[in-house]
Structure formats: C-alpha cells, structure tokens
C-alpha cells in the first residue's frame, strides 16, 4: 500500500513562496507568486496515486487542503 505524499505550500521568507514534500529538506517548487507555486505543485501531485497539497497563508496557518485523486481523500465530504 502506497502511503500518501504530502506537499506544503508556504512562504519562502521574504522571497515569495515554496512547496516542499513533507519530511524532506528541499523545496521542489519556488516562486514569487503564490498561485503559480500552487498550480505547479498541483501538477506534480496529480502524478502520484495518493497525494495531498496543503496550502498555507502568509501567517503559516492552513488555508486549504487538496487531495489527488479526489477518491483517495480520507475525509471525503460532499463539498
């Protein structure tokens, strides 16, 4: 059984945004524009059989979590 890969989109200090796979020390996507980093991270996530992208706000709190594919969401909801 493949475990879920989790990417976090967070600020990159004062230099924009980055996404990192959980439990790694290296950013896989960086950029100035948050939406660009989110979009590129989602494209990476869609290539895994089970993956989540957790998008953080500027203050570090969680803004949104997206699961790919949707059918693998452990907390399936109607919304």
Q: What is the pLDDT of residues 15-52, one digit of tens each?
A: 899 999 998 888 899 999 999 999 999 999 999 889 99
Task: Assign 74 a pLDDT band (cuts: 50, 70, 90).
Answer: low
- 16: region left, alpha or beta (phi > 0 left; psi from -120 to 50 alpha): left
pLDDT at position 29: 95
| Residue 9 burial by Cβ neighbours in a 10 Å radius (0-12, 13-18, 19+) | buried
Task: Assign 54 a pLDDT band (cuts: 50, 70, 90).
Answer: very high
Task: Assign 1 a pLDDT band (cuts: 50, 70, 90).
Answer: very low
Stretch 53-58: mean pLDDT: 96
- 23: region left, alpha or beta (phi > 0 left; psi from -120 to 50 alpha): left
- CA dist 3 → 10, 49, 52, 66 (Å): 22, 9, 11, 16
pLDDT at position 76: 54
């Amino acid at each position: 059984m493949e475990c879920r890969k989790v990417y976090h989109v967070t600020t990159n200090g004062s230099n924009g945004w980055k996404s990192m796979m959980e439990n790694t020390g290296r950013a896989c996507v960086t950029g100035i524009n948050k939406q660009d980093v989110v979009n590129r991270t989602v494209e990476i996530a869609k290539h895994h059989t089970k993956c989540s992208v957790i998008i953080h706000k500027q203050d570090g709190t969680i803004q949104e979590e997206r699961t790919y594919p949707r059918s693998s969401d452990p907390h399936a909801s109607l919304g």
